[in-house]
Structure 1
Amino acid sequence: MTKLKVLVAGTGFAGKGHTAAFRAAGTEVVGMVGRTEHVVREVAADLNILYAGTDWEAALAELRPDIVSIATPGGAHYLQIKQAISQGCHVFCDKPMTTQGDTATELFELAQAKGVKTAFAASFQYTPSVQHAKRLISEGAIGEPTELECISHFNLERGIPFGWSHRAEDGGGRLNNNFTHSLAIAQTLIEGQIQQITGDLRDDLGRAPKVEGVHDFTKRRSMIPENLDDPALEWGESNVEWSYTVMARLRSQLAAQSVSVLFKHSALLPRFHDDHIMVYGTTGAIYLKGHYGSGPLSLHDGAGWKVLPTPADILARAQESLGETEQCWHVLADIFVRDIQGHPVSDYPTFAQGSLYQNIIDSLRNSDAWTNIEEGAK
């Protein structure tokens, strides 16, 4: 069988990770496109990718890929994806899908009309522990699910250099880059459909120092200026949320009543107890350690808590040598490729989910769902 050809957009951590994931899935990565010529040439050479360029449309025309892998910041996604769909390419896109709900909806509809397959990489739902919990819940280990909570505090340094993560128009914000994963995990765990949602957001950062030479966001913490009081520093203004509290109701086929869900996250505040995901049911509960629930799984079955090992068949899907982000990209890329090849696969996140999430994010950012209470009012 001729290998499917993949063109990657992006030269940073995600671009490198997507490249490895698609190679592991049996495809041929034929090209890479980036913003800066010397960077894309260096990265492509390091990864043994023959084609390197800065013109996305020209690369599509020359290479005629079967799949494009979008691993750039969210602000670049719309045009890249639209051009790829027009060429008939299947699209694998990291989150956020775009920067606004209307553009995400447009791309979803264009992909449907063109008949191409899409994948939306809200992919932490594929950690072994989350998949283990999903299995236990579906088997009735906690009875009917009733409540779910996702709690995380990252305690990031406020001096992290200014970049795309600070700006809504570039795909920044914690809803785009944290909530998308947590919401996908919640839906996965209880096989849930979103009924209602509301929330409160806060930009508790305000500004960040501008630093030249930041390319790979995973290394940005090493580039924090030593003296943040230096009068020569330039500053960029944040216009996105760095903390959020979101409440939702999900309909689950495993429960007679709607499941109440709480998402609580701050990028800047310190944690006291472990970040975690909890799922409560009518007869028990499941605790997953870690902000995306990728740590040990504990089950309360009415008699007390016990740590359960991950089943061997679930562990077999993950490559232990990789970090959890890369593990999840590998799983989703493999499912996506097999679906394109016509093999039966389980459901996976597509642009239908990605566009829904982008519209939800718009709604949360624009909402004013407070009830005003005046002290002393009769």
Structure 2
Amino acid sequence: MKRPLRAVVVGTSFGGRVHVPALQAAGFEVVAVVGRDPERTRARARDLGVEHALTSVEEALTLPDIDAVTVSTPPDAHTEPVLAAIAHGKHVLCEKPFALDARDGQAMYDAAVAAGVVHMCCFEFRWRPEEAVAKRAIDGGFLGSVEFATCVQITALVAGGVHQAFNEEWWFDRARGGGILNASGSHYIDRFRMWFGEVEAVSARLQIVGDHSADDAEDTYTMTLRMSSGATAFIQQCSASWGESFRTIRAVGDRGSVWVGRDSSRCPTISRCHPNHPGVPTIPSTRSPSWNCRGSFDWPSAFATRSTPRTRTSRRTSARRRAPRSAMR
């Protein structure tokens, strides 16, 4: 019987809340957590059932049979542990934002490629059911030629100060990689890169609209992107708005649209022109093969109804909840 893959998690805040349980659920043996405060690291390791509580990345990397390292430190502390793990030949998963600047990001990427290790940045929302279904609709031509996409999110995330799930020590410190663009906007940029290819041109503005110091990192941003597919993508996010939260993500093609609303546990809505319109791809009628998430959703049901121009699936994921706020650190 093969032994389980063994991992080290660097960073005990988000790393302890998310990385350790996720690795354990995936069958990894998390053998060590690495933090700055010895007492706090020991307490979190004990609560998580992790054997080693360490304050040195190098010491963790000398433990026997370590296969992978995940890095969930503040953004300004990614480069050193990532490069150390790569130097020891370990596979690496690093939290976003990947680096404070392109130079450090390129250095980590080049080192991983040269070492031949598996390397990835944490953009976990790529695998949420609604994200996968929307991408499949776009890639499969169900929307025709997509020329426009938008993502708007307005929340009170930091309207009254930093949420307790986040690290107040650095979250508003622009020099350390704080701010809503790095914390959350990076996910939205990644979404559109997955859907439409690389960014070819960008126009953007960062703002502080809440009751924060002018020296703080931004709580609001607006950007327009030209994607390599030819689509124009608009992203706007404000995390300092009192009142009800709002979110919508939509891609618009010449044959239909797909969008995801605030309740992201729902599968996306897909609205199309009449199914007999010339140029519209044939809608799959088979339910096999299926794309499944926790045994509760298979994607063909999102495209199976042909009697009306507008189709909305009623199947939902088994977990009736939104993404945890801590998912944005």
Same fold (TM over 0.5): yes
Give the 3 Å change call, closer, same or farther, for CA 324–8 of structure 1 in structure 2: farther
1:282 aligns with 2:254: yes
Tell me the equivalent position of 1:202. 207
| C-alpha distance after superposition, 1:123-180 (max 9, x if no partner) | 2121101111111222222111110001001123444254211112322112211111
1:166 aligns with 2:157: no
1:239 aligns with 2:216: yes
Tell me the equivalent position of 1:315. 293
Report the Cα distance in structure 1 between the residues aligned to 2:149 and 2:243, rounded to whole angstroms.
19
Tell me the equivalent position of 1:262. 234
**Is the partner of 1:275 in helix, strand or coil?**
strand
**Is the partner of 2:20 in helix, strand or coil?**
helix
Report the Cα distance in structure 1 between the residues aligned to 2:319 and 2:266, rounded to whole angstroms.
16
**Is the partner of 2:270 in helix, strand or coil?**
strand
Instruction: Output the amino acid matched with 2:218.
Output: E
- TM superposition shift of 1:18: 1.0
Over the matched positions of the two proteins, sequence identity in percent amounts to: 26
Instruction: Output the amino acid matched with 2:124.
Output: S
Asked whether the equivalents of residues 250 and 257 of structure 2 are also in contact (C-alpha less than 8 Å), the reply is: yes
Tell me the equivalent position of 1:298. 269
Moved over 4 A (4+): 270-273, 317-326
- TM superposition shift of 1:189: 2.8
Report the Cα distance in structure 2 between the residues aligned to 1:63 and 1:96, rounded to whole angstroms.
30
Report the Cα distance in structure 1 between the residues aligned to 2:131 and 2:253, rounded to whole angstroms.
16
Report the Cα distance in structure 1 between the residues aligned to 2:190 and 2:107, rounded to whole angstroms.
21
Larger RCO (alpha carbons 8 Å, 6+ apart): 1
TM-score if structure 1 supplies the norm length? Answer: 0.69
Q: How does 1:1-378 map to 2 (within 5 A)?
A: 1-63=2-64, 65-161=66-162, 162-190=168-196, 192-205=197-210, 207=212, 238-252=215-229, 258-270=230-242, 274-290=246-262, 295-302=266-273, 313-316=291-294, 320-321=318-319, 325=323
Give the 3 Å change call, closer, same or farther, for CA 203–77 of structure 1 in structure 2: same
- TM superposition shift of 1:64: 5.3
- TM superposition shift of 1:325: 4.9
Deviates more, 1:163-172 or 1:127-136: 163-172
Structure 2 residue runs of 5 or longer lacking an equivalent are 163-167, 276-286, 297-316
Instruction: Output the amino acid matched with 1:138.
Output: D
Give the 3 Å change call, closer, same or farther, for CA 42–273 of structure 1 in structure 2: closer
Asked whether the equivalents of residues 133 and 267 of structure 2 are also in contact (C-alpha less than 8 Å), the reply is: no
Asked whether the equivalents of residues 149 and 251 of structure 2 are also in contact (C-alpha less than 8 Å), the reply is: yes
Asked whether the equivalents of residues 3 and 26 of structure 1 are also in contact (C-alpha less than 8 Å), the reply is: yes
- TM superposition shift of 1:118: 0.6
Instruction: Output the amino acid matched with 2:205.
Output: D
- TM superposition shift of 1:238: 4.4
Give the 3 Å change call, closer, same or farther, for CA 324–119 of structure 1 in structure 2: farther
Asked whether the equivalents of residues 32 and 51 of structure 2 are also in contact (C-alpha less than 8 Å), the reply is: yes
Give the 3 Å change call, closer, same or farther, for CA 89–181 of structure 1 in structure 2: same
- TM superposition shift of 1:22: 1.5
Asked whether the equivalents of residues 265 and 321 of structure 2 are also in contact (C-alpha less than 8 Å), the reply is: no
**Is the partner of 1:169 in helix, strand or coil?**
helix
Give the 3 Å change call, closer, same or farther, for CA 184–324 of structure 1 in structure 2: farther
Report the Cα distance in structure 2 between the residues aligned to 1:122 and 1:195, rounded to whole angstroms.
21
Give the 3 Å change call, closer, same or farther, for CA 96–273 of structure 1 in structure 2: closer
Report the Cα distance in structure 2 between the residues aligned to 1:294 and 1:108, rounded to whole angstroms.
33
Report the Cα distance in structure 1 between the residues aligned to 2:179 and 2:97, rounded to whole angstroms.
10
Report the Cα distance in structure 2 between the residues aligned to 1:184 and 1:54, rounded to whole angstroms.
32
